[in-house]
Every structure is written in C-alpha cells, then in structure tokens.
Chain A
Amino acid sequence: MERNQMHRQVSVMRQSLFDQGYLDEQFIQLEELQDDANPNFVEEVVTLYYRDSSRLILSIDQALERNPLDFNKLDTYMHQFKGSSTSIGAKKVKAECTQFREYCKVGNGEGCMRTFQQAKKEYTILKRKLEAYFQQARQSGPSETACRPRN
C-alpha cells in the first residue's frame, strides 16, 4: 500500500540520518519525549533550533570579518552554537564547533574561518534533510512520527 511504502520511506530516511552521522543519540531522546501532549515535539524543537541559531551564525560571520579577530568572543559564540547543536543531536555540526574552538584556543584565524564554513555547510545540509524527513513523516501519517521505530 502506498501508505506503508511512505512509512517505510520515512523510516529509511530516518535511519540514514543516523547511519551517515548527521544525527546522534540526542535526536532519539527528543523522539522519546514526543507524546500525546506534544505530538510534534521533535519538529518543534528542530524548528526552534534553526530559528535561534540563525542569529548566532550571523553574529559569528560578522565576528569573523573583524580584524583582528577576537578569539574570546568567537569562542563564546561557538560555545553557544555548540550547545544549541547538541540539543537536537546535530552530530556533524557539533564536531565542527569543537574543531573551531580548538582553533580559537591557539588563535588560528584561518582555521577558524575554514571550520566555520564547514560548520555552516553541515548545518544547512542537515536542515534540508530534516525538513524533507518531517514533511515525509507528516504525509505518511502521524503514527510514523509519533513513535520511534524499533531498530
């Protein structure tokens, strides 16, 4: 049935996000929090994350344009960004954040800039994938999104 196929598709999409390292265990935690009281909890959290972190990314971009670079400030921003990214389990983004902070510590401006570009890339890729995933999940029916598929 079409419905089943869609469900399967959603399941596959979801699994690949984990397998490819885009998401980690935290995402599963969010899924487990979803219940009848908050049937769209995961999507709401992800939306909130993207909304909130977009401001942060802008600040970091601006800070990276300054000369000389204020590493303390950059580190602070990145700390926030990392914290946020941790909340939804954005694994790759988080990894880039960690790398960025390492460069900050040693004052490597070049490294910082490169890493941040990478972080933004991962951030955007994940956003697109999650959007597709949620959309697919919504289309295939609530049952799929509400419960966590047994692995």
Chain B
Amino acid sequence: MSFSAPSMENGFSSPRNESFPAGLRVLVVDDDPTWLKILEKMLKKCSYEVTTCGLAREALKLLRERKDGYDIVISDVNMPDMDGFKLLEHVGLEMDLPVLMMSVDGETSRVMKGVQHGACDYLLKPIRMKELRNIWQHVFRKKIHEIRDIESHDSYDGIQISRNGSELSDDGHMFCGEDLAYVKKRKDFENKHDDIGDHSSTKKHRVVWSVDLHQKFVKAVNQIGFDKVGPKKILDLMNVPWLTRENVASHLQKYRLYLSRLQKENDLKASLGGIKLSDLPSKDPAGSFGLQSSINGNQNDVPNGRYQFSGDNFFAQDVDSKNHEGDLKRVVSETKRTLTADLPDPQDMRTQMSFDHSFGSLDSEVNFAAIPAPYSWSKAPENQFKEEHKPLLQLEDGFSQLPPSGIHNHIQIDDPLQSASSITSGLSMTGREICGPEKIKPLYPQYSSNHMSILSPKESAFDSFPVQSKSQMVKHQSFEPISTAISSMKPQGFNLSCITDFESCQRNLISATDSTFEPFNEDLTVCWLEGDCHSMNFGLPNVEFTDYIDPGFIAEFPIYLCDTLTSDTECPFDPPEYSIVDQGLFLS
C-alpha cells in the first residue's frame, strides 16, 4: 500500500492522519544506492513516509529546512562526505530526533561508538524488515521522555509549555491520533486544532535550545546575576528576536530545577561518601561542579575567576568551593542534567571548574574531579589559564546551546563506576562548554544522549578533555573512543569491562583517521602520562543521569584543557582504572 504524505502544503509534512506508527516520517541516509532503494521499499511497506538521501550534508540540509519534517533518521555509519557519527551528533544536537545507525560492521567498538554518540539503536546490515517495523518505538520513547521531563517541572513550566504549544508541538505530531495519557493532558492546554492537520499557521514550533542559544541564555543569566534573573531581563539581554518570554521562562525554570537537582544530588552523594567536587579540598565531587571544587581545592593557583569558562557558567570568577557548587548548579540546571556523580575522591579535585559548568551536571564534576592535577586545569597557572580562558569564554555561547530538551534519560548508576558514565556525559558537556569557541566539536553530544552509560571515569575524563593541544583541536574522533567506552556502560550493569572497551576505544582512537587525531593523541598521552591521572577514573558512585545531556554540550569539550593537562600534577584518582586508560591512551 502506498502511503501518501498528509498535507504537504505548508512545506513540511504534517503529522500523519493515520494512526501511529503509520505515516512515521523517516529520513534514510546512505551512500549505497542499492541499500537506499531497498530500505526505501522496506519502510514504505511498513507504511512509513520515506525520504532518501545519499549524502550526510544533504540530509542535514533537509533536516534543517524542515525542522519538524521528520520523526526519525536512519543513517549509515560510513558516509563519504561526513562521518556518520558526526551526523548523528548534529542531528541530536540541532534537531533532537532519534537517530538509528546502520552498518555492515558490527564490531563492538563501533556499536559502542554509535551509542556514545547518541544513537538510539545500531542496526546491522543486512537489515530485515521486521527490524524496521519497530523503529517507531524510538520516536515514541523520546516523546514520552520529553513529556515526562516537561511534566516533572513546575506546573508553571507546563503551562508555559502548553500555552506555547511549542514544546508539545511534536507531541501533537506524533500522537495526533493516539490516546496517550500524556499527550492528552497536554492537549487540553493546547488549541485542539493545532494538533491535527496543518500546523504551520497556528502551532508554534518547538523551541530547540541549541548550544548557541543556551550559551546566550547562560551568559545573560550570569550577567544579570543568578539571583536577580527574570525571563524578561534574560530575553532582553539575549537579543534573540524570535524567542519569546515564555520560551525563556520555561527554560529558566528547567535550568533552576536542574541546578537544584544537582545540588540535591550532591548532598546525597556527600552523604554516601561520594566525592563531591564541590568540596574541593577534599573531594567534593558532588555536583558536577567538580571543576569548581577542584579549583577551589587544591589549586591555589587556580584563580577563581579562571575557570570561568564560558561565561555562562556560573562559575564565574570566584571559584570558591562553596560557591562553585552553586555555580555548578546553575550550570547543571542549565543543562538539565542531573548527573550526579560522586567522584571518587580524587585527592584533589583539581578539575577545572569551568568544566563543571559545562556539564552542568555531574559530569563536569566528575570529570574535573577526575582530572587530577595533572590535567592541570585547576592547576594551570593563572596566566596559562587565562589564555585558555579566552577561548573558553566563547564557550558560553556553546553552553547556551545546550538544549534543555536534551535531557531525557535517567540513568541510575549504583556502581561507582557507573558514575563514570555520568561523568562521561558530564564531560561531554563540559567539553562542550569549554571547547565552545574554537573548535567545538560536538564530540560528545552523543555521549550525553540516551545512552549515557556509565563508563569508567577515565573515559569520561577522556572525553571531557579533548586534548586540546594548542590548537584546540578537539578532534572529535579522538574522543570518540573514549566516549564510546564510556557510553557503552549500561546503567544496569556497570562493569569494568568498560575499561577494556575503553582500551579498544583507545585503539580506535588511535587509529582514527582523523588527521587531527594525531596531535590529540599525543596530547592525551602526555596528559595521561604525566599526571598519571587517575582522575580519569570516574568511579563515581551513584551517578544518576536524570537528564539527557545535550550533545552539543558535550561536544564542546574544552580542548584547551588538554594543554593544562600536560602540566604536572598528580592524579589522585585511582590507579587501576587509570592504568587501563593509560594503556589505552598510549596506543599511539
């Protein structure tokens, strides 16, 4: 039966009129024309609405042109013009759509990488039709999580959202024919006529809080002063014409919740003996503000202001351990991640705070905490850091890009190692933040994505510290291995196998074709070696990922960190994990 797209008059196909999942709008990306033809036929047989594309860039163009034009993306991993993982990151970051990866290669490391980058699933070729029949579950799941996420916020938020219609517009798309409890509830708020059929005129497009936007937001918040913020003030400062006060208000709400959740988690962690980054001197991994703590902590040299990263983060200038927490919280809430990772108490959480804010969530803490002195973020001499800061400031923008919507998954990790994964996510966030300006490569967007698995801290650290070697070239690829390792950890069973995976990731890393990889590798090696940083290990206990870390966030991993990493510093983190990482890292 052929499926005809319902009302295309507005330039984008509106939600299907048939009952879900029929009419699911799928974008298939594959450079192999044979597979493209086969997949198209298979998907059509599933009653889906298919669009095919032979190039990654073309796919992105299509997606950007019609922001709400697709429900799900299926892409091959090996594309000639762009790495499939990169495309994955972009899609997750900008459009926040579920993405499935495909490949004839089913190697664990590749699959891990995919998951780390945020793939909802990894299909092996040859693909059977029955596998495609069920892809709608990924779309559905995402919607559910979004709704839950929204609903968990203040009712004010909910009202804003419903009034806005923007956040739920996707829901309207998806479930227009369905009787979903969540959706129905939201629908009550919305104009009924908005949901069905043509939306273009009445429905407001969902606001996607991209990394840039989010960074602007955070910057504005910082400028105003966290205590004195108000949606109107923020909106004025942000100077984004299409953004409404309601958008900002709901985002602010989420941000606050996020920060407060981090705070709570931190407190909880502290009680559990976790290392709270916030308490630098000792170990206060808590709260992703690990960086902060580290900064406060031992690093005397770390100027308070230094780690400001990205401005928006809260970490503003004074890295006072206590304050940091607060700052971090802000950051955290910004990202809406509730990654609470208890960093194993690295004797000195020198982690840079700035990272924290990038993570917003625990990740930052974790990472930073994990990053032992060697990584010298914290240690970086002020001047050195100063330089680094500059680029970092740009992160602010990046930071603001973290779309709140990114956070969807809750990953509870009981195993300390798991926290590592959270760290990873955190890292990615921070990474993002940090690397913002220069080459922020959305390395870890994926990491933060749904599969924030808990990986050994090392990995996350790895991610977060895109070795920035002088040129901030955070090569995306280089981090991947790590992230993959990290992300491969499943919440349920965090096992140390991640470490081995990490190693393999390292290997992958090493073999990454990315030219930039080389330098990175060296840096990493250096960092790792020098600091003997155990900090990498993120044996964070009880990492809880309540939010999905915005991919973009992670991508901007502060590359510059790497530079500092090379500086001497001892890594308080545990050796065993580190050693593994060590080996892995030194592949080169």
Please pick, from B34, B45, B103, B105, the residue contacting A84 in the complex, using a CB distance under 8 A. B34
Q: What 1/0 mask marks residues of chain B from 202 to 229 whose CB sits below 8 Å from any chain A CB?
A: 0000000000000000000000000000
Whether, in the assembled complex, A86 has its beta carbon less than 8 Å from a beta carbon of chain B, the answer is yes
Decide: A80 near B78, CB < 8 A? Known: A26-B126, A33-B42, A33-B45: yes
Please pick, from B42, B78, B128, the residue contacting A79 in the complex, using a CB distance under 8 A. B78
15 contacts between A and B (CB under 8 A): A33-B41, A33-B42, A45-B37, A48-B33, A48-B37, A82-B104, A83-B32, A83-B76, A83-B78, A84-B32, A86-B104, A86-B125, A87-B34, A87-B125, A87-B126
Contact residues, A35-74 vs B (CB, 8 A): 35, 37-38, 41, 44-45, 48-49, 52, 72
Please pick, from B33, B41, B76, the residue contacting A38 in the complex, using a CB distance under 8 A. B41
Whether, in the assembled complex, B272 has its beta carbon less than 8 Å from a beta carbon of chain A, the answer is no
Whether, in the assembled complex, A30 has its beta carbon less than 8 Å from a beta carbon of chain B, the answer is yes
Chain B: minimal CB distance from A124 (Å): 17
In the complex, which residue of chain B has the Cβ closest to the Cβ of A101?
Answer: B105
Decide: A86 near B2, CB < 8 A? Known: A48-B33, A52-B33, A79-B78: no
- Starting from the known contacts A80-B32, A83-B32, 18 additional A-B residue pairs (CB-CB under 8 Å) come to A26-B126, A29-B126, A29-B129, A35-B45, A37-B2, A45-B37, A48-B37, A52-B34, A79-B78, A80-B78, A83-B35, A83-B78, A83-B103, A83-B104, A84-B32, A84-B34, A86-B126, A87-B35
Contact residues, A130-148 vs B (CB, 8 A): none
Chain B residue numbers with a CB within 8 Å of A76 are 78
Whether, in the assembled complex, A88 has its beta carbon less than 8 Å from a beta carbon of chain B, the answer is yes
Chain B residue numbers with a CB within 8 Å of A33 are 38, 41-42, 45, 129
Whether, in the assembled complex, B155 has its beta carbon less than 8 Å from a beta carbon of chain A, the answer is no
The answer to whether B78 touches A44, judged by C-beta atoms less than 8 angstroms apart, is no
Chain B residue numbers with a CB within 8 Å of A88 are 34
CA distance A30 to B42 in the complex (A): 9
User: Chain A CB within 10 Å — which of B2, B31, B37, B125 has the most?
Assistant: B37
Chain A residue numbers with a CB within 8 Å of B42 are 33
The answer to whether A84 touches B126, judged by C-beta atoms less than 8 angstroms apart, is no
Is the contact region of chain A dominated by helix, strand, or loop, or is it mixed?
A: helix
Residue tally, chain B, CB below 8 Å to A: 21
Chain B residue numbers with a CB within 8 Å of A41 are 41
Chain A residue numbers with a CB within 8 Å of B108 are none
In the complex, which residue of chain B has the Cβ closest to the Cβ of A56?
Answer: B32
Chain A residue numbers with a CB within 8 Å of B4 are none
CA distance A21 to B21 in the complex (A): 37
Whether, in the assembled complex, B588 has its beta carbon less than 8 Å from a beta carbon of chain A, the answer is no
Whether, in the assembled complex, B137 has its beta carbon less than 8 Å from a beta carbon of chain A, the answer is no
Chain A: minimal CB distance from B190 (Å): 37
Chain B: minimal CB distance from A9 (Å): 27
Chain B: minimal CB distance from A85 (Å): 9
Chain A: minimal CB distance from B100 (Å): 16
